[in-house]
Structure 1
Amino acid sequence: MAASPARKSLAPRPETAQRREEILRAAIATFGAKGYKGPLSDIAEQVGMTHAGVLHYFGSKSALLLEVLKFRDDEDVEDLPTRHIPGGVGLFRHLVKTAFLNAQRAGIVQAFTVLSSEAVTDGHPARSFFEERYANLRVEVAAAFRSMCADEGVDAPETVDQAAASILAVMDGLQIQWLLDPTAVELGAASEFAIEAIVAQVLDPRTTPVSAVATSESAG
């Protein structure tokens, strides 16, 4: 008996896609304010649905959480031609642009900050997501550093991997300060300053007063 032809996967109907996005945005608000423990009933109430109705679209609370995180990352690259972070100097320009964009979407930043912090705990459903996300970003940022160094005709220093991790840490750390007191920190400008400072140090490594003190202390 001949096998029946495989069914083509159909894109969700417009009304289904719209409903899913409404739930995702409600989940961003709830997870941002209350963390992953925020009840599904809070999300359901925001979109005029029942608890079961929310689960109908996503299957489980953990699946909804991962869709929220993916939704956030997709928004970061939706205006890029390839819908992917560029390489070389373009990557650093994209990071700066993202920081300025984040200053206009506190809800998404808050949800990301809360969930990434929670994810360090054992058994958290987003732990694998964040482990993979940071591992991939460190690789991509380090590769961008090496590409930019090659374009500038300089040898990439051994500190490239440290620089990549530092850029991600500075961006996330500034988001925490900004969320706590938006009037004290200009998220976009502060992120731009930090990224440019780290990039400059990679392209033209030099001894700074801090590193000089650390070197003298270790020698003593």
Structure 2
Amino acid sequence: MTTKDVGRTAKRGPYAKSEERRQTILDAAHAVFAARGYRGGSLQEVADRAGMSQTSLLHYFPSKRDLLMSVLERRDEITSGAFPDDMEEGLADSVIRTALHNEDIPGVIELYTVLCAESVTDEHPGRDYFTERYGRLRASYGRRFAELAAEGRLRPGVDPDQAATSLVALWDGLQTQWLLAPDQVDVAKGLRGYLNLVILPGTDPTG
């Protein structure tokens, strides 16, 4: 290691430590918000879980709103692992794989479900996030269903946009039931059942 390398390592040290502390706070906030929601979870509780003072926490996240948005951003980064860039598969398989992927990530469904429900309340800072997210999901799945319709793979009378809206609603509803009774509700099975109702069987890779 050269003198220059030592200097570079020294410069990276404080940044690495700061980033580690930031991730610790996000982990703590994730757990608190998933259990108590945004309004019920306090910054002090997050700080206690992270093993620091609230003043130190605010050095990394100036407000509770900033912390929430960073938690949601990290949540998206975590769940993005279900979408490898090189994967080509049909809509049904993609949906089922994503559902199973999310179930294996501790707390991610709890966080999403609690904050999504809470976001409909007045002046909730996560409202725009969930509104925009639902819009993107409906548009994305609507395009996929439209592609299937163009290929003759959508059952007669099924509207692609309505099928997309119903899929998103069913998925959220199944996840809520799964959180309440995981031994009684199979999210992937429920989604597969719905998709089998609206998509005609076929041998090409879109199914």
Q: Decide: shared fold, TM above 0.5.
A: yes
Matched-pair contact (CA < 8 Å) for 1:35–1:114: yes
Contact 2:32/2:46, CA 8 A, preserved across alignment: yes
SS in structure 2 opposite 1:78? helix
Write out aligned runs for 1:134-149 (5 A): 134-149=134-149
2 CA distance for matches of 1:195 and 1:155? 16
The AA in structure 2 aligned to 1:15 is: K
Structure 1 unaligned residues grouped into runs of 5+:
1-10, 205-220
Number of aligned residue pairs: give it. 187
Offset from partner CA, 1:91-121 (integer Å, 9 cap, x none): 5433212221232334221111111000011
Query: Is residue 158–residue 198 contact of structure 2 (8 Å, CA) maintained in 1?
Result: no
Q: For the residues of structure 2 that align with 1:159 and 1:88, how far apart are their CA atoms?
A: 22
What is the CA–CA distance in structure 1 between the aligned matches of 2:110 and 2:154, rounded to whole Å?
Answer: 38
1:171-198 CA deviation, whole Å, 9 max, x = no partner?
Answer: 111111111122222xxxx333333333
1:126 aligns with 2:123: no
Aligned to 1:72: 75
TM-score by length of 2: 0.79
**Cα distance in 1 between the residues matched to 2:148 and 2:189:** 18
User: After superposition, where does 1:1-220 map in structure 2 within 5 Å?
Assistant: 13-37=15-39, 38-78=41-81, 80-82=83-85, 89=90, 91-150=91-150, 152-154=151-153, 159-185=159-185, 190-204=186-200
Which runs of structure 1 show a deviation greater than 4 angstroms over 4 or more consecutive aligned residues?
Answer: 154-158
Query: Which 5+ residue runs of structure 2 have no aligned equivalent?
Result: 1-11, 201-207
Letter in 2 for 1:170: L
Q: Could you say what the CA RMSD is over the residues aligned between the two structures, in angstroms?
A: 2.7
